[in-house]
Amino acid sequence: MNDQLMNEKRGINKRRRFTIRQRTIAMIIFSLAILLVMIVSGLCIDAEKIGINLDSKNNTPSLAHWFGTDWLGRDMLSRTLKGLTLSFGVGMLAALSSAIIALILSLFSSWSKTADYIVTWLIDLFLSVPHIVTLLLISFAVGGGFKGVVIGLALTHWPSLARLLRAEVLQLKNAEYVSVSLRLGKTRFWIARHHFLPHLIPQLIVGFILLFPHAVLHEAAITFLGFGLSTETPAIGIILSESMRYLSTGLWWLAFFPGLLLLVMVGIFDLLGRSIQRLIDPFHGQRG
């Protein structure tokens, strides 16, 4: 009887885990599909669709213009999708660069105690200063614009991921198979490539995806303040900044829809990162 109950319990747990896995995969596919629609739509919009049309300026949202038009008659849906595509590109470049920096520093910390001290000092230094302040200084120092924003974001968003990867490396460093490799004469580079890197890839992927929302929001923030992307680009920060002067006249849609879609894209990436973490992390998968 006890064996039968145990088998039934195992079967229920197995079906439950399988259902959780199915839901997680469905959530990942759903998130990727929405992101793909947003990005492809933005790429398909040409300059003519976001051009000036004074005959239809300040139109409220309608079937002809779902997000309304601005003071120059530009379609806000087209401008918003174009801005999201630009923010997506900035976020991807910045998050990828930050992830690479975090990986290099975490592997470097395993070289020696001195290297680990240097990496820890750098992490504490960057974490002690607010992201926005450091981002503004770096972006301004390298000339601003698209290049300045990407470099600033890349150099300010790696510390949290580097700290996580460093902790993982220090744990792996004490593993028995790493000690055996050292006694067999393997180089530290070989150990980092064959022992550390395979274990760090899952955390690196999840960290990269979760860095994206922070990079996009910070890019929109400094662009809104006038220190980011050029005013000629249809970036979300530029759209929100320009719309502020017209909110008092009742043109609420100029800021509402761009801000809403920006939050949707950020939320989707956050959901995507947590779903992938639940999929590849067995402990998350068991907790369901």
What's the token pair of residue 82? 């174009």
**227-279 tens-digit pLDDT:** 777 777 778 888 888 888 887 788 888 888 888 888 888 888 888 878 887 77
Mean pLDDT of 87-115: 87
- The whole-number pLDDT of residue 116 equals 85
pTM for the whole structure:
0.78
Residue 58 lies in a domain: no
DSSP annotation of 184 reads: T
Place of tokens 């996009």: 216
Residue 102 lies in a domain: yes
Residue 53 lies in a domain: no
Residue 60 lies in a domain: no
Mean pLDDT of 196-203: 82
Whichever domain contains 158, its CATH number is 1.10.3720.10
**24-35 tens-digit pLDDT:** 788 788 888 888
Cα 217 to Cα 76: distance, rounded to the nearest angstrom: 20
Query: How many domains are contained in the chain?
Result: 1
**136-185 tens-digit pLDDT:** 888 888 877 788 888 888 888 888 888 888 888 888 877 777 777 777 77
Phi-psi region of 69 (alpha: psi -120 to 50; beta: other; left: phi over 0): beta
Per cent of the chain over pLDDT 70 is 90
Residue 59 lies in a domain: no
Cα 200 to Cα 105: distance, rounded to the nearest angstrom: 12
Domain residues for the domain of 217 are 2-47+68-287
Cα 33 to Cα 55: distance, rounded to the nearest angstrom: 35
pLDDT beyond 70 at 3 = no
Regarding predicted confidence, which is higher, 53 or 79? 79
pLDDT beyond 70 at 14 = no
Please report which confidence band the pLDDT of residue 84 belongs to, taking 50, 70 and 90 as the band edges: confident
Instruction: Pick the most confident of 11-15, 163-167, 196-200.
Output: 163-167
Residue 52 lies in a domain: no
Mean pLDDT for all residues in the chain: 79
Residue 63 lies in a domain: no
DSSP helix/strand/coil, 286: helix
